[in-house]
Chain A
Amino acid sequence: QLQLQESGPGLVKPSETLSLTCTVSGGSISSRDYYWGWIRQPPGKGLEWIGSIYYSGSTYYNPSLKSRVTISVDTSKNQFSLKLSSVTAADTAVYYCATLPAAVMTPDAWGQGTLVTVSS
Chain B
Amino acid sequence: QSVLTQPPSVSATPGQKVTISCSGSSFNIANNYVSWYQQLPGTAPKLLIYENNKRPSGIPDRFSGSKSGTSATLGITGLQTGDEADYYCGTWDSSLSAGVFGTGTKVNVV
Does A100 interact with chain B (Cβ within 8 Å)?
yes
Name the contact of A48 in the complex, choosing from B37, B56, B96, B101 (C-beta under 8 A).
B101
Q: Given A47-B88, A47-B90, A48-B101, verify A104-B96 contact (CB < 8 Å).
A: no
When the two chains form their complex, are residues A104 and B50 in contact, meaning their CB atoms are under 8 A apart? yes
A105 to B98, CA, bound (A): 9
When the two chains form their complex, are residues B92 and A47 in contact, meaning their CB atoms are under 8 A apart? no
When the two chains form their complex, are residues B88 and A46 in contact, meaning their CB atoms are under 8 A apart? yes
Question: Interface digits, B80-110 against A, CB 8 Å rule (1 contact, 0 not)?
Answer: 0000000010111000111111111000000
Nearest neighbor of A63 in chain B, beta-carbon distance: B96
Contacts of B34 in A (CB 8 A): 106
A47 to B4, CA, bound (A): 11
CB distance from A16 to the nearest CB of B (A): 25
Size of chain B's interface in residues, with CB distance under 8 A? 27
A114 to B96, CA, bound (A): 26
CB-contacts of A22-62 with B (<8 A):
37, 39, 46-49, 51-52, 60-62
Does A111 interact with chain B (Cβ within 8 Å)?
yes
B residues sitting closer than 8 Å to A (CB atoms) are 2, 32-35, 37, 43-47, 50-51, 56, 88, 90-92, 96-104
A residues sitting closer than 8 Å to B (CB atoms) are 37, 39, 46-49, 51-52, 60-63, 96, 100-101, 103-113
Sample 22 A-B pairs with CB under 8 A, ordered by A number.
A46-B102, A46-B103, A46-B104, A47-B37, A47-B88, A48-B101, A49-B99, A51-B98, A52-B99, A61-B98, A62-B99, A63-B98, A96-B44, A96-B45, A100-B99, A104-B32, A104-B33, A107-B45, A107-B99, A109-B47, A110-B44, A110-B47
